[in-house]
Structure 1
Amino acid sequence: MSVAAFQTEVDTQPIPTTTPPPMLSLVPISGGGGALSPSTPAARPSMRVAGPARIEGERLSPDSREPTRPGQEGLRAMCGIEDFGPRSTSTADLPQAREWSARMGLAIAEAACGARPTLQVMRWVSPSVYESLVRRSARAVQHRRATRRPMRVRRVRVCHPCDGVAEATVIIEDHHRVRALAIRMQGIDGRWIITECRLG
């Protein structure tokens, strides 16, 4: 085929027709009464996340924004979820206060003068009492008064202001002197805990 015949055949081929894409319809602005211009961006619709469906009978708990369903409070009480803190103990479920205060009074007096390690009484006293006892023992060691000398309990007086609380006065003979120890005990988690202590 000659070049002229090929050119004539190419020129006579029909041009395919294509349908242009449809124009996007412009939505009028709410309340504005006019149409959006092509250069004006459309406002995004506000999105609100819906919360979980409420179940009939459930309510918000006072210390949480989570709903409390019927019977959930009884389940928490049965599982002991709210009983993680210290629990008071009745006097009837605790050791005899007079004998216990006599032994602990003697141990505290020995720890205060440095004759006994303070760690031995740590489990039976409150953090504030233990810190005071450690400072007193450290002063005794610093002034070289931490000597093991014989001590014995002369007399113990105990009173119970209320259930689970006892106050005792322990008179201790410390070699050549007599000392008085006043302690306040509270029943916590099944044992006596000394919350206040004054050693003369």
Structure 2
Amino acid sequence: MVAGVAAFVAWLGASLVVLGDGRRALAFGVFLAAAGMTVIAWQSAGPVAAAAIATGGALAAVRRFGSGPDGWRIMPPGSTPRLVLCVAGGLIVLWIAAAVTTGAGASLRFTVMVIAGFSGARVLASEDASVLLTATSMLALVVALASAFGDGSGLWPYFGAAVIAAGAGWLPHRTARAT
């Protein structure tokens, strides 16, 4: 039950990052996604891995709250495709994680697929540097969480993801321009 709620919280956070353009929505989305991933990591990989994901997610959220466009800016004009992605993508991933694949760990599979998919889509669809760095932070954390699928990966993926997620917010915000 706890893992299911954590997976829902992670989906909600990833959806906020997909639907929002303002720094409050991005920061709260990263915070929620990291909170859900932390609970899943605690159950799958142990407390040290969970602490690394929580630290990386919290630092990414704090940094995002301090930089980027003001306000929430949830569902600005033209964001209907993003809403469809959040609802339909979440339902498809839930079906795959719970019904198509077998074995324990449906919450882990759901969380990894939904955050990786939503973050990847957000990276490809946005031009705003703060959105790109936020989605990149979430991608780093979820790649570390995916290491819980295997045996013996150790804690290094979690520590590396925490450093990347925390450090991504400090990168300069420049828009590349073709000359």
What TM-score do the two structures reach when normalised by structure 1? Answer: 0.31
Between structure 1 and structure 2, the one with the greater Rg is: 1
Bigger share in helix: 2
Q: Which has the higher contact order (CA 8 A, sep 6+)?
A: 2
Bigger share in strand: 1
What TM-score do the two structures reach when normalised by structure 2? Answer: 0.33
